[in-house]
Homo-oligomer: A and B are copies of this chain.
Amino acid sequence: MYTLSANQYGKGEIHLVRIYRDAPRHEIRDLTVTTTLRGDFADAYTTGDQSKVLPTDTQKNTAFAFGKTHGDGAVEDYALALARHFVDSDPYASEATVEVLVDGWDRVVTDGGEHDHTWVRRGPERRVVRVDAAGTGDGQRLDVIGGVTDLVILKSTGSEFHGFHKDAYTTLGETDDRILATSIDAEWRFGADPADWDAAFDAARAALVGAFATWHSLALQQTLFQIGQAVLDAVPELVEVKLTAPNKHHFLYDFSRFTVEPPIPNDNEVFHADDRPYGLIEATVSRS
């Protein structure tokens, strides 16, 4: 009478820090890994039989182990290896997803120059890597998604918003000069592997930031479309870019209500940065 339809299980937010210490100048990699398996797991739900279920604790152990055994390449190589491991070695998992959020650390600079083994955390922006693996052998399919999350970016001019549709509830004024601020979540899907995963990420991120900065915006919608195109232009292996961007409103503060003399001007200089609500714009741009 009732059917189990879509289902999956895994381990969320495994926080793995890998130190590379073969040379005096160490390197650091800070990963938050989520693993997910799909496959022949219905019995675990319907009868409680766990004989086909690889514990999420084991998935966690494996994620840490692969940090050593498969940690020398790019984060994408790690995620690919881990996702492939699950579908290749687990007879019951037909599909696996490995998502990695990469926290940034900046090397400390002291009087002696760049320090060998000390870093300061950089955020809130994080690099995103996700691999979907399905099947085994020749028919195995591997999809790689890259991206960024929480890339908070703001331009203080070069942004307009006017000529919009109005109805009886519309009170918003039109403007030809406003702050445009957002926190971009972007996912870009690779149709083929690039020669260098890190170079591809750097190029995509630079294109995103550059398009936001240099495009004179008539709306956040338009800026997103420009960003999507710029990212696809920058990395030929990409086939699609998905963008989610809240419009983080900065309201010009109205000083005209004060009786202070002389009156205080506010020519787009002092803003209240509001928290909620926010606009929320989403767009996917695809290579035709």
Interface residues of A (CB under 8 A from B): 1-21, 26, 28, 30, 34, 36, 41, 44-58, 60-62, 64-65, 67-69, 71, 89-90, 92, 105, 108, 110-112, 115, 117-125, 151-158, 161-172, 179, 206, 209-210, 212-214, 217-219, 221-222, 224-225, 228-229, 232, 240, 242, 246-247, 250, 253, 255, 257-261, 264-288
Contacts and interface: CB of A to CB of B under 8 A. Distances in A.
A261 B54 CA distance: 19
A67 B270 contact: yes
A46 B125 CA distance: 27
Contacts of A47: 222
Contacts of A54: 164-167, 170
Contact of A121 (B15, B71, B153, B259): B153
B279 A9 contact: yes
Binding site of A, secondary structure by majority: helix, strand, loop or mixed?
mixed
Nearest to A107: B213
Contact of A264 (B45, B65, B164): B65
B61 A213 contact: no
A18 to B, nearest CB: 6
11 contacts: A1-B287, A2-B232, A3-B287, A11-B277, A12-B278, A12-B279, A14-B276, A14-B277, A51-B165, A68-B266, A122-B122
Contact of A11 (B179, B218, B278): B278
B19 A56 contact: no
Q: In the complex, which of the residues A69, A225, A267 has the most CB atoms of chain B within 10 Å of its own CB atom?
A: A225
A273 B156 contact: no
A19 B65 contact: no
Contacts of A285: 2-5
Q: In the complex, which of the residues A46, A50, A266, A274 has the most CB atoms of chain B within 10 Å of its own CB atom?
A: A50
Contacts of A110: 206, 209-210, 213-214
Q: In the complex, which of the residues A36, A48, A112 has the most CB atoms of chain B within 10 Å of its own CB atom?
A: A48
A254 to B, nearest CB: 9
Contacts of A283: 4, 6-7, 45
A62 to B, nearest CB: 5
Contacts of A121: 124-125, 152-154
Contacts of A89: 167
A68 B165 contact: no
A15 B277 contact: yes
Contacts of A267: 21
A210 B111 contact: yes
Closest 8 CB pairs of A and B: A48-B218, A121-B152, A118-B213, A45-B225, A57-B172, A48-B222, A56-B279, A168-B260
